[in-house]
Structure 1
Amino acid sequence: MTISGLSLGAPLEHRHTCSRAGCRDEAAWALRWRNPKIHTADRRKTWLACDEHREVLSAFLTDRSFPLEVVSVGELDD
């Protein structure tokens, strides 16, 4: 059902959604990382994280010794 362009019962879409599996919350953090075994120093991947999942996603990457930079999503380039 749609009222004034809003779909009732549909998941809320955010501009930046958390990358954690199953999470649909709005992301506040950008985790910029790379796997040095397969990526050159100028290549970065970005995962997005809500406040709740920032630490678990960061730990996953740092446990693998991947270079990691955490910034707010407001600091991302469009």
Structure 2
Amino acid sequence: MLHGFGDGHERLVCSAKGCREDAAWVLSWNNPKLHTPERRKTWLACDEHREHLSGFLGVRGFLREVVPLAEWRLRETTAGEGGPGSASDR
């Protein structure tokens, strides 16, 4: 299960405003002025919006990692609870 994104059976869509495309990427980020260094929030992105959303977070110094959705799910499966995304908010 992708923590914070349902039970894995629901459709995951891009976080870009107005976009209804399937998510293909997880953008892991935090705001260092508000969050502890280990805290990670996440946005989902389709292929079309990955660069735009990454740039938005990057220029603010918030972006920590961009990972294919399938890899993120695999990490969570192998790490169990407390793995990637355990402290994330969509």
**Shorter-chain TM-score category?**
0.7 to 0.9
1:51 aligned to 2:27?
no
Which residue of the partner structure matches residue 33 of structure 2? 37
**Distance in 2 between the 1:67 and 1:23 partners?**
20
**Distance in 1 between the 2:58 and 2:12 partners?**
22
Which residue of the partner structure matches residue 26 of structure 1? 22
SS state of the match for residue 71, structure 1? strand
Quick one: higher RCO (CA 8 Å, sep 6+), 1 or 2? 2
- TM-score normalised by length of structure 1: 0.76
Question: In terms of Rg, which structure is larger?
Answer: 1
| Higher fraction of strand | 1
SS state of the match for residue 56, structure 1? helix
**Distance in 2 between the 1:39 and 1:31 partners?**
16
Runs of 4+ in 1 over 4 A off after TM superposition: none
Which residue of the partner structure matches residue 82 of structure 2? none
Unpaired segments of 5 or more residues in structure 2? 1-9, 78-90
| Higher fraction of helix | 2
CA RMSD of aligned residues (A): 1.4
**Distance in 2 between the 1:58 and 1:68 partners?**
10
State the number of aligned residues. 65
